[in-house]
Chain A
Amino acid sequence: MSVKAREVLGEDPEVFFAEKRYEFIAEILPRVLRGARPLTLSDLLDRVFLNKYLGIPIFLAFWWALFRFTFDVSAPFSDLIDMFFSSLGEISYSVIGDEHIASFLAEGIFGGLGGVLVFLPPIFFLFFGLSILEDSGYLARAAFVVDRIMYKLGLHGKSFIPMLIGFGCNIPGIMATRTIDSEKDRILTILVNPLMSCSARLPVYVLIGGAVLGSYAAAGTYAMYILGIVLAVFVALLLRRTIPYFKGRPSPFILELPMYSMPTFKSTLIHMWERGVLFLKKAGTIILAGIIVVWFLSSHPWGVPLEETYLAMLGHALEPIFRPLGFDWRGAVALAFGFIAKEIVVGSFAVMFGMGEESEIGEIQEVIRSEGIFTPVTGLAFMAFTLIYIPCVATLGVIYRETNSWKWTIFAVLYGLVLAYAVSLLIITVGHGLGYM
């Protein structure tokens, strides 16, 4: 005799069982728990943070504070690390007789280690700040506040934390997408994450912007960050409209808002450490390897002038592709190395100008100006290209791991290249059209 469970229970079985469990809990609760819940600090804070009108401005304020904290506090540490490895390099030259080996040590090893470690302070401080926001419970409120906008932009409210982290480094940013339940939303967030201008790209903006944009250098840099966000939104909306897989609205937003609590120093450090170490392990080794590769290609065949090195050969081979954008062989090479790691780009320019990798930024900028390597318009286009083109190798590796699909990883590369070229070309055309150089 077949009996329908639903009929017997009077409703959907899963709801029935869930209800019964809660009923049981409700019955035993009075025997076990006493004391009403007074109006708490949490409730009061929420009145402010979740306020319809104040919510977003407050969130923007926290975001701004986070980045100021990160960059301002970490700068002295980065400088120290920079100086330390530069000195090690100089010592190598004075101590070791064989110039070949000295060069390998100074520019390859120490240059490489310095190049990686100089990014540790900003990354660790960023994650320190993020951990405080997260552990205190505020981040959940922020997700709630931005959800309404994210939804309209075709993104899930929970995407905003990975995007925020992406501004520090795309690798932990992409890994943070694990909190998004829907696979579609997750992959979409992963695909646009590289458009969040990671901290490694900043030196490129500073270098080029400072060299050719004159008093508009800072504006140019801010423009890149905003461009990244605008493009992320554009790409998200575009993909949702055109690719069948992504069609439909973002999945439902469900998020628990925990009680506010004072984060402990210890737990913040633990979170900061876990995420920072990720960057170090994944990206660190690749960046180090990349810098050694740059050193090798730029100094071999050993002893020949710069124009005859493997590096120059690579550049000249790539040049035709970039000529419409106004980048010469050196720009092409820098971009090629940027694929390995964006952190290497500035150093590779220095190398190509025949200067040591540890040169002062001012000196490199001087060369750019005097030799006309970039003009204001082509410089801006180069900055945009750097922002968009492809995620660095380490990031691609993480994209592959998180999406578990060659298809999406290759897509990430292709759409990046196409979009970068298109946007740069647009900048060149509009710039020249408006009469700028």
Chain B
Amino acid sequence: MRMPLAMLNEKEEATVVEVKGGKGLVRRLSELGLTPGTKVKILFSNSPGPAVIDVRGSKIALGRGLLMKIFVKPEAETY
């Protein structure tokens, strides 16, 4: 069950499944640790603005456009 990271709420956790985007974008996010299999957690959401997520121990702020391009599998099973 995959959904864009943008749809997660604060405190929710998920695993990255795919990053859809141009080569440059995918690579940029990969460097920051956002690769398939990485666990992420939403720390702060300024929806519909950017969100701060925890990626491998660092806090990264991502804009809405990006949050829509990162597809994840939420931790909660009810999805």
Contact = CB atoms under 8 A, between A and B. Distances in A.
Asked if the two chains touch in their complex, CB atoms less than 8 Å apart, one says: yes
Interface of A: 11-12, 14-15, 18-19, 22-23, 37, 46, 50, 52, 55, 140, 143-145, 147-148, 151, 157, 249, 252-257
Contacts of B49: 147-148, 151
Nearest to B33: A22
Contact of B57 (A37, A144, A253): A37
The CB with the most chain B CB atoms within 10 A, among A37, A147, A254, is that of: A254
Nearest to B67: A252
A257 B60 contact: yes
A144 B59 CA distance: 12
Nearest to A137: B59
B48 A254 contact: no
Nearest to B46: A148
Interface of B: 19, 23, 25-33, 35-38, 43-44, 46, 48-50, 52, 56-66
Given A147-B49, A256-B32, A256-B61, A22 B66 contact: no
Contacts of B44: 46, 50
B23 A14 contact: yes
20 contacts: A15-B30, A19-B30, A19-B36, A19-B37, A22-B56, A23-B37, A46-B43, A50-B46, A144-B46, A144-B52, A147-B49, A147-B50, A147-B63, A151-B49, A252-B25, A253-B63, A255-B60, A255-B61, A256-B61, A257-B52
A151 B64 CA distance: 10
A194 B68 CA distance: 34
B63 A151 contact: yes
Nearest to A256: B60
Contacts of A157: 50, 63
A254 B62 contact: yes
Contacts of B26: 12, 14-15
Given A12-B26, A23-B37, 5 more contacts: A148-B46, A252-B25, A252-B65, A253-B61, A254-B62
B34 to A, nearest CB: 9
Interface of A is mostly: helix
The 8 closest A-B pairs by CB, nearest first: A148-B49, A253-B63, A18-B30, A257-B59, A19-B35, A255-B61, A50-B44, A144-B61
A19 B29 CA distance: 11
A90 B59 CA distance: 59
A52 B33 CA distance: 26
Given A144-B46, A157-B50, A22 B35 contact: yes
A285 to B, nearest CB: 39
A300 to B, nearest CB: 58
B31 A144 contact: no
Given A50-B52, A249-B65, A254 B32 contact: yes
Contact of B66 (A23, A52, A144, A253): A253
B62 A253 contact: yes
A157 B36 CA distance: 27
A14 B30 CA distance: 8
Nearest to A23: B37
Nearest to B38: A22
A252 B65 CA distance: 6
A137 to B, nearest CB: 10
B66 A252 contact: yes
A81 to B, nearest CB: 41
Contacts of A15: 19, 26, 30, 35-36
Contacts of B60: 254-257
Nearest to A250: B63
Contacts of A151: 49, 63-64
